[in-house]
Amino acid sequence: MVKALPLDVTTNTLRFRQFDPKPCKRFRNKRFTKGVMGAICFTDVNGGKTQSVIFDRDEFNITEARKWLRDHDFISTQKRLNPSGYSRKSSGKSNSPLTWLLVIGGVIGLSILSNKVRY
């Protein structure tokens, strides 16, 4: 069984993480197709691996995104976070503020990178 990772839902995107970004040294965005972009993770030991698949919400809803992921051999079973930051099966403890800073920083960083990358 694949461990369920958080599904990040924003106003404009759906982000399906494929693995924890902790080992990543740097990222690069790659457009897979219209409305689908990948955050490519680079570490010291690999040449690049898709860490997250990001869907444009104008092009995909959650069901369509999960189907696309399954059709392209990516992980699609993930827990959606409620806006408060608690998972649906929360123990009542909030996520660490540091975790949220890292997530927000990553989103801002990817937004900046996506503006510089030409497709």
Task: List per-residue pLDDT tens for the chain, 119 residues long.
Answer: 445 566 889 899 999 999 888 889 999 999 999 999 999 999 888 778 999 999 999 999 999 999 999 999 988 766 654 444 433 343 444 445 555 555 555 555 555 555 554 44
Measured CA to CA, the distance from residue 2 to residue 115 in angstroms comes to: 33
Q: Which residues contact 56 (CB under 8 A, 6 or more apart)?
A: 12, 13, 35, 36, 37
Query: In the chain, how many domains are there?
Result: 1
Residue 13, burial from CB neighbour count under 10 angstroms (0-12, 13-18, 19+)? buried
Write down the pLDDT at residue 99: 54
Q: Which two tokens stand for residue 13?
A: 């995107």
Give the pTM. Answer: 0.60
**Beta carbons of 52 and 76 less than 8 angstroms apart:** no
pLDDT of residue 57: 95
What is the extent of the structural domain holding 43?
5-116
Distance, CA of 73 to CA of 76 (rounded, Å): 9
